[in-house]
Amino acid sequence: MSFPSTQFATSRRMGIYEPNPQISMWGQSFISDSSPNTGISTIVEADAKLDNRSEGTSDGTLGTPTKFEQEANKPNDKVSRRLAQNREAARKSRLRKKAYVQQLESSRMKLTQLEQELERARQQGVYIGGHLGDSSHLALPGSVSSGVAAFEMEYGHWVEEQNRLTCELRTALQAHVSDFELRILVDSSMSHYDNLFRMKTIAAKSDVFYLMSGMWKTPAERFFLWIGGFRPSELLKVLSPQLDPLTEQQSFDVCNLQQSSQQAEDALSQGMEKLQHTLAETLVSKSLINLGAADYMGQLATAVEKLEALADHLRQQTLHQMYRILTIRQAARGLLALDDYFQRLRALSSLWAARPREPA
């Protein structure tokens, strides 16, 4: 069978000759079956050109990517690191969000529990002596005001939460987490102490004498009690061994803070002594009857409440001043030292209560 030469020319323009084994076989069939005037030389020439193109591709002249393509195909280390950092930041963000949601849920459950306990106390006939904000209220012996009952339950929850935060902070320091993660935990601990001062402010409005007496603390803690709490100067003594090494500027700032705290403590102690002296003189004289017991007790409660508020303000400001002076890791170690101090006082109270006693 023969084909006109014009048919081969048309077929070549249509791209029949591709570097494919099947097409090569077809080409051989065309050569064997064609007549001499079918344009064999044209077909051989086309095959040679295709072979040259194939060799060029294998040598890399046509198939080799350009320099820019090679650069584009190379893995970009900077982009890879950035993507890894973004993934890690997103993971940490999800963990923080989960912890925050859990904290909110825990706070909601504690609030519900507190409301239930208060409702049970009301149903059991607990004496409600006035309301929050009535500083003239003095609870009768054996009675419990609503503010005192609420504070005792809140303080119990506060201690539990403090233990949890301390464990998280200690684990983070041992794991050498980043300063960013550590700062989140330190800020949470500082906010937790601020919450304690807020709770005490509310409780003082209900019964300031109960708060000042320290009945909500363990016996060993009450032994070191100063106007309803710890001395800021004692706080600095506890923290100082845990803060080394300090820079020269840090040492100077801590020294100034200790001196100013001591001066403020002395002033408040003098005010407390003067108040106690005035009360003693009033009780042994007839002026209490002339003044009116209710009015005088209201004035006394207000004066004591102001002293306690000033003492708590001094404690709170000392904590925050230390936080500003120290690095984040020094602050974390200081908070752990402070909590360990209170934990040991509570443990001392437990040992004292469980001590062997001689039979009466």
* Mean pLDDT within 249-275: 92
Neighbours of 317 (CB within 10 A): 15
pLDDT at 351: 87
- d(CA 201, CA 217) in angstroms, rounded, equals 16
For position 291, what pLDDT does the model report? 58
Give the ranges where 34-76 is alpha helix by DSSP (H).
40-59, 67-73
Q: Tell me the pLDDT tens digit for each residue of 200-240.
A: 999 988 888 888 888 889 888 999 899 999 999 888 888 88
pTM of the predicted structure, to 2 decimals: 0.59
Listed residue (197, 116, 107, 193) closest to 149, CA to CA: 116
In the predicted structure, residue 324 carries a pLDDT above the cut 50: yes
Instruction: Return the top range by mean pLDDT from 35-44, 49-58, 338-347.
Output: 338-347
pLDDT value of residue 55: 46
Mean pLDDT in residue range 239-259: 89
Structure tokens at 302: 């207000």
pLDDT, residue 56, reads 46
